[in-house]
């Protein structure tokens, strides 16, 4: 992870140059109580006292930290100046910024991107108090674009780690569908998958209480909800949403199976047609993905297919960034709904990793949803997960 931090700090320098921003300041304190989401990318540890990480487009990398954390910063090797302090950060912070004399100082606030909005309002007031009376206070701008680019543009090393998490997830899914049988509860299936986390020495990609999300049949509650005592039944769908965090990077994959009733030789027509619709929506939207398109255009492709085939619209984005978090980065493959702000207008770039996950609900059978993990390439896009194109059919 130390090499990754060095890599991302160097990447930040080129991003600052691209956006013509002279300096980026990440200002934090007591991060073990809830730190800035960007910190794992540019530091990789917690910080206790007020700390300032300053990166400039000219290549300066300055860390102003409490004396007790200075050696840790030095060992990371990402910052060429480490300035320790004891009583107050005010003087070294003002001195460093004054020497740099930047025209803009980007700080971590954002209206659109929660992962770029890491500076709490109280700490913002502290920072502005330090800058008060200097010309620096008038040079503050949002670091939203810088952080969005840094999180979203995955390096080859990051992509390799995401692929490893996906491979582990595929193994767990294989073993889970081999294990699943009618009469098992959602909780039993979730317990099995969580036991596999220990076997593979990985973590859940999101909150353990509903990782995995398990939906057994039409009466199961869909969404970010914990598994229940509801059981797998013949003639019903089994839908699972699951991901792992491995070496700091996540997968996020959904898979689907149908359990035959006695006498059935295949899934009902409605189930097969619904499954085909979702596969078509995924394949068409991934085929269309390429650098330069806004996320809303990819969403529209998948959404239009589902609406055309079913007359119903799913009430969520078609996809989101994937990386250090299951929901990572700023842009979404989504419609221009108010809750998404400007994020559907963010542009796809080579190195972005997205999920693609349209869905529909069949009242008599359950949730039909598949989720694939996709890498945007210079010429288009490719599946990082082996796509599910055949419905898993389980016998009694």
CATH code of the domain in which 164 resides: 3.90.230.10
Q: Distance between CA 165 and CA 202 in Å, rounded?
A: 9
Per-residue confidence (pLDDT) for residue 329, from 0 to 100: 84
Which residues are CB-contacts of 236 (< 8 A; sequence separation ≥ 6)? 216, 217, 218, 258, 259, 365, 366
Written as six digits, the tokens of 355 are 């999920």
Structural domains in the chain (count): 2
C-alpha count within 13 angstroms, C-beta hemisphere, residue 29:
11
Which pLDDT tens digit goes with each residue over 180-212? 999 999 999 999 999 999 999 999 999 999 999
Q: 């909780």: which residue's tokens?
A: 187
Which pLDDT tens digit goes with each residue over 283-298? 999 999 999 999 999 9
Written as six digits, the tokens of 6 are 């060095």
Task: Indicate the residue among 92, 123, 151 that finishes a domain.
Answer: 151
Per-residue confidence (pLDDT) for residue 242, from 0 to 100: 98
* CATH number, domain containing residue 74: 3.40.350.10
Task: Indicate the residue among 151, 169, 203 that finishes a domain.
Answer: 151
Q: Do 184 and 259 reside in the same domain of the chain? A: yes
CB 112 within 8 A of CB 78: no
CB 16 within 8 A of CB 55: yes
Give me the domain span that covers residue 169.
Answer: 153-394
pLDDT at position 8 over 90: yes
Rama region for 18: left / alpha / beta (φ>0; ψ in -120 to 50; rest): alpha
Q: Above pLDDT 70, what percent of the chain?
A: 99
Confidence of residue 221 (pLDDT cuts 50, 70, 90): confident
Which residues are CB-contacts of 133 (< 8 A; sequence separation ≥ 6)? none
pLDDT at position 49 over 80: yes
Q: 């990447």: which residue's tokens?
A: 11
Instruction: Please provide the average confidence, as pLDDT, over all residues in the chain.
Output: 95
Written as six digits, the tokens of 104 are 């803009």
Per-residue confidence (pLDDT) for residue 1, from 0 to 100: 64
pLDDT at position 88 over 70: yes
Q: Do 207 and 253 reside in the same domain of the chain? A: yes
pLDDT at position 64 over 80: yes
Number of Cβ atoms within 10 Å of the Cβ of 136: 21
Q: 């994020």: which residue's tokens?
A: 343
Q: Distance between CA 198 and CA 316 in Å, rounded?
A: 32
Q: Do 137 and 217 reside in the same domain of the chain? A: no
pLDDT at position 149 over 80: yes
Per-residue confidence (pLDDT) for residue 223, from 0 to 100: 84
Q: Do 10 and 122 reside in the same domain of the chain? A: yes
Confidence of residue 395 (pLDDT cuts 50, 70, 90): confident
Q: Do 143 and 157 reside in the same domain of the chain? A: no
DSSP result, 62-123: EEEEEGGGHHHHHHH---SEEEEESS-SHHHHHHHHHHH--S-EEES--SS-GGG--S-HHH
Per-residue confidence (pLDDT) for residue 14, from 0 to 100: 96
Q: Do 114 and 246 reside in the same domain of the chain? A: no
Distances (CA, A) of 119 to 31, 61, 139, 314: 11, 19, 17, 34
pLDDT at position 85 over 80: yes
Q: Do 103 and 211 reside in the same domain of the chain? A: no
Backbone angles phi, psi at 382, to 5 degrees: -140, 150
Q: Do 193 and 128 reside in the same domain of the chain? A: no
Which residues are CB-contacts of 349 (< 8 A; sequence separation ≥ 6)? 149, 152, 153, 291, 376
Q: 């949002």: which residue's tokens?
A: 142
Number of Cβ atoms within 10 Å of the Cβ of 68: 11
Confidence of residue 104 (pLDDT cuts 50, 70, 90): very high
Q: Do 127 and 248 reside in the same domain of the chain? A: no
Q: Cite the beta strand spans of the chain per DSSP E.
A: 23-28, 51-56, 61-66, 81-85, 105-107, 140-142, 203-204, 213-216, 237-242, 244-246, 249-250, 253-259, 319-321, 328-333, 353-356, 359-362, 366-369, 372-377, 380-383, 392-394
Q: Do 96 and 207 reside in the same domain of the chain? A: no
Q: 């998948």: which residue's tokens?
A: 302
Q: Do 81 and 224 reside in the same domain of the chain? A: no
Q: 């999101």: which residue's tokens?
A: 206
Task: Indicate the residue among 92, 121, 151 that finishes a domain.
Answer: 151
Lowest mean pLDDT among 62-66, 79-83, 218-222: 218-222
Q: 């359950």: which residue's tokens?
A: 366
CB 29 within 8 A of CB 49: yes
Mean pLDDT (whole number) for 275-284: 98
pLDDT at position 2 over 80: no
Q: Do 291 and 161 reside in the same domain of the chain? A: yes
Spatial CA neighbour of 254 closest among 296, 193, 183:
193
């Amino acid at each position: 992870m130390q090499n990754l931090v060095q890599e991302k700090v160097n990447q930040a320098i080129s991003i600052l140059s691209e956006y013509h921003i002279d300096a980026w300041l990440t200002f934090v304190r007591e991060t073990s109580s809830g730190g800035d989401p960007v910190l794992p990318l540019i530091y990789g540890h917690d910080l206790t006292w007020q700390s300032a990480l300053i990166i400039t487009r000219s290549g300066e990398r300055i860390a102003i930290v409490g004396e007790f954390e200075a050696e840790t910063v030095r060992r990371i090797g990402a910052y060429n100046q480490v300035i320790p302090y004891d009583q107050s950060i005010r003087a070294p912070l003002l001195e460093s910024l004054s020497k740099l004399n930047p025209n803009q100082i980007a700080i971590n606030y954002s209206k659109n991107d929660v992962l770029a909005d890491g500076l709490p309002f109280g700490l913002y007031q502290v920072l502005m108090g330090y800058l008060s009376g200097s010309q620096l206070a008038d040079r503050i701008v949002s670091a939203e674009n810088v952080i969005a680019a840094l999180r979203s543009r995955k390096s080859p090393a990051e992509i390799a780690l995401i692929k490893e998490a996906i491979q582990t997830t595929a193994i767990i899914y294989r073993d889970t569908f081999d294990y699943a049988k009618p009469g098992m509860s959602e909780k039993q299936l979730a317990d099995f998958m969580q036991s596999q986390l220990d076997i593979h020495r990985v973590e859940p990609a999101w909150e353990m209480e509903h990782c995995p999300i398990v939906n057994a049949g039409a009466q199961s509650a869909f969404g970010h909800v914990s598994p229940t005592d509801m059981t797998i039944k013949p003639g019903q769908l089994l839908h699972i949403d699951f991901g792992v965090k491995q070496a700091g990077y996540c997968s996020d994959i959904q898979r689907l199976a149908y359990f035959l009733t006695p006498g059935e030789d295949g899934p009902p027509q409605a189930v097969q047609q619904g499954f085909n619709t979702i596969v078509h929506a995924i394949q068409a939207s991934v085929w269309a993905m390429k650098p330069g398109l806004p996320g809303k255009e990819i969403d529209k492709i998948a959404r239009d297919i589902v609406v055309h085939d079913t007359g119903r619209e799913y009430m969520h984005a078609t996809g989101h960034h994937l990386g250090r978090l299951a929901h990572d980065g700023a842009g979404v493959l989504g419609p221009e709904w108010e809750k998404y702000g400007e994020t559907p207008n963010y542009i796809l770039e080579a190195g972005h990793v997205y999920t693609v996950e349209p869905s529909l609900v069949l009242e008599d059978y359950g949730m039909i949803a598949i989720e694939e993990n996709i890498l945007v390439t210079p010429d288009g896009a490719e599946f990082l997960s082996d796509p599910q194109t055949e419905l898993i059919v389980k016998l009694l």
